[in-house]
Structure 1
Amino acid sequence: MSGAGTEGGIGPQPMSDLKGYLVKAFLVTCALTALAEVAVFQVEDRLLAPVASALVSSVGSEVAQESALGLISRLPRLLAELVLGSQGPSDALRPEADGLVALLLLMQALVLLPIVVAAVVFAFLVDGRVRAVQEAFARERRREEQERNLVVADLAHDLRTPVTSIAALSQALADDVVSEPERRREYLRTISHKALAVGDMVNLLVEYAQLDSEGFRLERRRCDLAELLLEVAAEAYADAEREGVLVVADVPERPCPILADPTQLARVFSNLVANAVRHNPCGTTVAVSLERRGTVALASVADTGTPLPEPTSELLRPFSRGDSSRSTKGFGLGLSVAKRISDKHGFGFALRQPAGAYTKAFVVSCPILEEG
C-alpha cells in the first residue's frame, strides 16, 4: 500500500553516535597534528638548524661532540637545571654550548608542542561531547518521566470510570433493583464489556512494564510471518464483529520466513488490530496485509476509519497522551508497546496516512530470511 501523505518512523530520533564522533575527532586531530609537525620541521630546518650549525662550529669539536652525542641522555637533567636555575660546576658548559643546548631544547619543545596541543584539544572535544550526550539523556529521561506521570493519571481516570460502572451495575443486580430479565442481561453484558476493557488496559501496562525490565529477552527463531498475520486476523474476527468492524486479510499463501520472537511479534499486530477495531466507528474496514519488496517484508494493518490528528510523530511517541491523543479514544499505549517490540527486533515501524484506499496504515518492515 502506498500513498502520499504523512509517513515516517515513529518515536524520538536516535542520538548521535558518540563512538563515531570520537573516531572522527581523533582522525581530524591526528591529521592537523601531522600538518603542524610538518610546519614545525620546516621552520626548524630553515631557521633554527642553520643557527645550531653555527653554534656547533663555534664551540669547537670536543664540546660540539659532547653536546651532540651526549644530548639525549643529558637533556632531561639540563632541562631540570634550566627550570630550577641550578647548574653544577662539573656540568658547566661554555656560553656557546649553553646556547646550543638551549636551542636544541627549544627545537625539541617545538616538536612536542603540536602533540600536547592536540591532546588538550581532543580532551576538550571529548569532554564537551560526553557532556552533551549526558545532558541529552537527562532531558530525555525527564521528558519520559513527565509523560509517564501523565499516562498514569490518564489511565487512572480511564480505569476509574468502568470500575465505578461495574460496581454500580453489580450492586443494582445484587439488590434486585432490576427485575426484568432483558434488562438484567443488558446489565451483565455491560459489566462484561467494561471488565474486558479494564483487563485490556491492565494487560497493556503489564506488557509495557515487561519491555522495560532487565530480564526481558527476545526468543528469536525462524518463523512464518504470513502464518502469524493470518492467525492474528482470525483471532480478531469475534471482537470486530461485535464492534461492527470488518477485518480482511490480504496475505499471500507463500511462506515468508523471518527471524523473530513470534510471541512478541504477534503482540505487535494484535495491538495494532485491536486499536483499529476498538477505536474506529462502526462500518470501518481493517485490512491485515503482507507485501514483499525484494528481501524486505512489509506487514501492515490499515483501516478506513478516523484519521489520526497531526502531528502524528508527537501523538505516537511512547507515553505521549495529550488532548489530541485522548480525542482518539486511547491511541497511545498499545501503539507504544508495538513500537517498542518492533524496535527491539530491529524492525522498522512507520505510519502512512493516507495509505492508498485506506485512511491510515501502520507498517512493520523486516528482512526476509533465505528460503530453503
Structure 2
Amino acid sequence: MKKCLRLRKRKNLYLRLVGSYIFFIFLVGLIFVGTLLELMHITDHFYDEVDYTSLTMEQLGAMQAQIDRIIAISFAMMVLSFLLLAVIFSIVMGRRIRREEREVEAARQKMLADISHDLKTPITVIQGYSKAIVDGMVSEEHMDKYLNTIYQKSNRLADLINEFYQYSRLEHPEFQLTMEPGDLSEYVREYVAGKYEELEVAGYELDVDIPEQPIYMPFDHVELCRVFENIITNTIRHNAPPTTIFVGMEFLREKHQVRIRLGDDGEGIPEEIREHIFEPFVVGDESRNSKHGTGLGLSVAKRVVTAHGGKIRLLPTTETSWSTMYEIILPMNRGNL
C-alpha cells in the first residue's frame, strides 16, 4: 500500500517537473527570439543611418567591428540571462522537490500509524482473551463469552485486512475494471432488494426511487456493488436505527449520464471532515476509537467511480433535505477500460 502511495505521489511530482521544464524552455525560447529580434532592429537601424558612399574602407571596418561588439555583448547578456534563469529555476525546483518529498514521507508515516492503530485493537483483545483461556483464568461459565469475543475480533481483523487489501489493489498502477454491459436500473434494484431484509432486521428503513425503464451501459458489476456497500455500511456504522436510508437513481438524458444518490436522515457528517471525506483514513475520533472505522470505504468508493469515468461528491446540506447525501455521476458511453 505504501509503495502505491509513493508511486502516485511521485507520478504527480514528475508531472509537475515536466510542466516546469516545459515552461523553462518556453522562457528560454522567448529570450532567444527576443534577443535576435533586438539585434536585427539595432543593425537595421544602424545601417539605415549611414551613408556608405561617403565612408572609407577603414571607416567601414570600424563600423563592422562596432556591430560585432554589439552582437557579442548582446549574446553574452543572453547567455547570462539563461544562466541566471537556470539558477533560479534550480533553486525553486529544488525547494519544491524537497517539500514534495517531505509531504510523501509524512503521508506514508500517517498511513502506517493509522494502519497500526486499526490493527492493534483487535489483536490486543485476541491476545489477552486467548492468554486468559490458556492460563486457565476463565471459568466454564464465562468460556463462551471469551470465545465469542475472540471470534468477533478475529472477524473484525479479517475485515480490516480486506479493506486494506482492496484499497492497495485499487491504488496499483495495473488495476483495471472489468467492464460488462448490463441494465443499471435492474442492477441497483437487485442490490437494494438483497439489502432489504438485513436493514429491516437491524431496524433501518429504506426509501427507494429507481426508474422502471432499463438503462443499459457498461460497468464493473463487482466494483460498483462495492461502492454501494461501502456507502451504506458507513451509514449504518455512524447512525442508529430507525434511520432512513435513501437510494435513488435518475437518467440524465441530455447529458447522457446516470445520477445515483445514496443518503440518510441520520446524524450527518461533521463539518470539519466533510471536505476531506473521500481521503483515506478520514474518520471521526469516535469512529476510530469505538466503532472501528478505517476511513478507507469512501476512498475506495471514489477510486472505483473515478475509474468508471464518473464523479462522486458529498452534497452540501444546502442542496438536499437529507442529513447526508452522496451523488454519483456515471457516463453512459464509457467503453472498456
TM-score interval, smaller chain:
0.7 to 0.9
1:57 to 52, 55, 58: 55
Give the percent of matched residue pairs that are identical in Structure 1 and Structure 2: 23
How many residue pairs align between the two structures?
319
Q: Deviations over 1:115-152 (max 9, x none)?
A: 64665466457646644653453133123212212212
What aligned pairs does 1:22-33 form with structure 2 within 5 A after superposition? 23=22, 26-27=25-26, 30-31=29-30, 33=32
- State the alpha-carbon separation in 2 of the partners of residues 195 and 44 from structure 1: 85
- State the alpha-carbon separation in 2 of the partners of residues 100 and 160 from structure 1: 89
TM-score (norm 1): 0.67
Q: Which amino acid aligns with 1:205?
A: F
- State the alpha-carbon separation in 2 of the partners of residues 212 and 47 from structure 1: 64
Q: Deviations over 1:231-289 (max 9, x none)?
A: 43233334423432224432213233444433222212211111112331121111222
Matched, 1:211 2:170: yes
Indicate the residue corresponding to 2:6 in structure 1. Answer: none
1:297 alignment partner, SS class: strand
Indicate the residue corresponding to 2:225 in structure 1. Answer: 266
What aligned pairs does 1:178-327 form with structure 2 within 5 A after superposition? 178=141, 194-293=153-252, 294-312=255-273, 313-321=275-283, 323=285, 326=288
Indicate the residue corresponding to 1:342 in structure 2. Answer: 305
Shift of 1:34: 4.0
1:311 alignment partner, SS class: helix
- State the alpha-carbon separation in 2 of the partners of residues 324 and 265 from structure 1: 28
Q: Which amino acid aligns with 2:250?
A: E
* Alpha-carbon distance change, 339 to 170 in structure 1, aligned in 2, over 3 angstroms: farther
5+ residue gaps in structure 1?
Answer: 1-11, 60-94
Q: Which amino acid aligns with 1:38?
A: L
The answer as to whether partners of 2:122 and 2:154 remain within 8 angstroms in 1 is no
Matched, 1:138 2:136: no
Q: Which amino acid aligns with 1:105?
A: D
The answer as to whether partners of 1:236 and 1:274 remain within 8 angstroms in 2 is no
**Mean Cα displacement is larger for which, 279-288 or 313-322?**
313-322
Q: Deviations over 1:306-359 (max 9, x none)?
A: 222222224542133563663683261212222233334442221124362311
- State the alpha-carbon separation in 2 of the partners of residues 300 and 169 from structure 1: 48
The answer as to whether partners of 1:304 and 1:360 remain within 8 angstroms in 2 is yes
Q: Deviations over 1:66-94 (max 9, x none)?
A: xxxxxxxxxxxxxxxxxxxxxxxxxxxxx
Superposed CA RMSD in Å reads 4.2
